[in-house]
Amino acid sequence: MRVHELRLLETEPFARGEEYGRALAEQVRANAARYLWAFGELGVAAETVRRVAEESFEALEAWAPTQADELRGLAAGSGASLADLAALTARTEVLAYAPHEALECSTVVRLDATGPSGVQTWDWHAELVPDAVLLSATVGDRQVRTFAETGMLGKIGTAGRLSLFLNILSHESDARGQGVPVHAVARRILEEADTVEQAVAIAESASLSASTVLTVLEAPSAAKPEGDAASIELSPAGVALVRAEGGLLAHTNHFLDPTLAAGDAASTQSTTDVRLAHLRAVGPGVVAARSATELAQAMCGDGGANAPVCMRPADSPYLADRWETLITIAMVPGTGELHWQTGTPAEVTDAEFRVFGG
């Protein structure tokens, strides 16, 4: 996976999107087309994709109009159709209709007197993202830095005093009605929130049609000398907060809040339980880590490259079976930096862990 680092100079939403589109026009168009193909491969009918994209964009326009304007600019700059970019932005909402459920990602956070830090693997289908992007954009009075699929406005990232990780979830209430894209919720939190409480308020203000969990890390302050961290579980059925235990906060791809867990719809093929158990088992090493590299390596523990959080693609002709860890990202809130390396956390070294931002 090629990761393009793009630092945008425009500050108005449409112009910012247009600048993004011009810079990566070929990659944006190709990624939008690739996802339309993938939705079909994963069992979502074309008419369902179009309907969900239209409904999600309408919801986005009402809830976060500046993001809708940025997508319009992205379409104008890249030559991709707005409808295709709306489907890409709503990829989680579209995938809620797929019979093959998404199984991606593991996140772990350590908290101590120095504040929180965390690391995430992003597990997905390699053929869908030969190109991805690290975006840096001025939004209002802050610098938003985020990693995402090319043609999307946000996913994992950091801004102000907050950092944010994202894992997909599935709930029995998904795929019902019209909803704001969960990736747009992540982007708005990066644009506006500096505390866990503010992030929760933004998440609760969005009407949803798909589920996800946003793990947010808050930098230390006078009010919170040790900072803060929490996993915000989102679903159409409601929003719940999961807190750390013993200085460790870990999340994979199933609900941990007892009320929302009653409606969990994670695939029986998912390794989410195995991965969460692993993260809890390596907790002492994670809590003891003192650098981004140590944190990534501690995520694997003694298992190294064979740890369950290091996903390898199955030898299968079916797209739904081919998962792998495409990138590892670590963050400390308040620094404005994303530490990243393509591949699994077992492959992370001080020499190769790159820094975006700062």
Question: Is 123 domain-assigned?
Answer: yes
The mean per-residue pLDDT over the stretch 64-71 comes to: 98
% of the chain surpassing 70 pLDDT? 96
Question: Are 144 and 290 within one domain?
Answer: yes
- Does the pLDDT of residue 284 top 90, yes or no? yes
pLDDT value, residue 311: 87
pLDDT in tens, 153-177: 999 999 999 999 999 999 999 988 7
Task: Estimate the crossing angle of helix 196-204 against helix 182-192, to 10 degrees.
Answer: 140
pLDDT band at 321 (very low <50, low <70, confident <90, very high): low
Question: Are 273 and 350 within one domain?
Answer: yes
Question: Are 48 and 118 within one domain?
Answer: no
- Does the pLDDT of residue 178 top 90, yes or no? no
Please, which residues bridge with residue 240 across strands? Answer: 233
Question: Are 127 and 202 within one domain?
Answer: yes
Strand, helix or coil at 295?
A: helix
Question: Are 250 and 334 within one domain?
Answer: yes
pLDDT value, residue 188: 98
Question: Is 311 domain-assigned?
Answer: yes
Range of the domain at 202: 106-357
Q: How many domains does the chain have?
A: 2
pLDDT band at 269 (very low <50, low <70, confident <90, very high): confident
Question: Is 174 domain-assigned?
Answer: yes
pLDDT value, residue 86: 98
- Residue with the two structure tokens 């992007």: 133
Question: Are 37 and 145 within one domain?
Answer: no
pLDDT in tens, 81-101: 999 999 999 999 999 998 866
Read off the CATH number of the domain in which 122 is found: 3.60.60.10
- Does the pLDDT of residue 137 top 80, yes or no? yes
Question: Is 329 domain-assigned?
Answer: yes
Question: Is 7 domain-assigned?
Answer: yes
Question: Are 216 and 301 within one domain?
Answer: yes
**The last residue of a domain, from among 30, 61, 95:** 95
Question: Are 201 and 135 within one domain?
Answer: yes
Q: Where is pLDDT greater, at 227 or 177? A: 227
Question: Is 100 domain-assigned?
Answer: no
Question: Is 302 domain-assigned?
Answer: yes
Question: Are 176 and 320 within one domain?
Answer: yes
Question: Is 101 domain-assigned?
Answer: no
First to last CA, the chain: 23
Spatial distance between the Cα atoms of 173 and 5, rounded to a whole number of angstroms: 37
Please, which residues bridge with residue 131 across strands? Answer: 2
% of the chain surpassing 90 pLDDT? 87
Question: Are 53 and 140 within one domain?
Answer: no
pLDDT value, residue 17: 98
Question: Are 119 and 89 within one domain?
Answer: no
Question: Are 159 and 209 within one domain?
Answer: yes
Structure-block tokens of residue 281? 């088992």
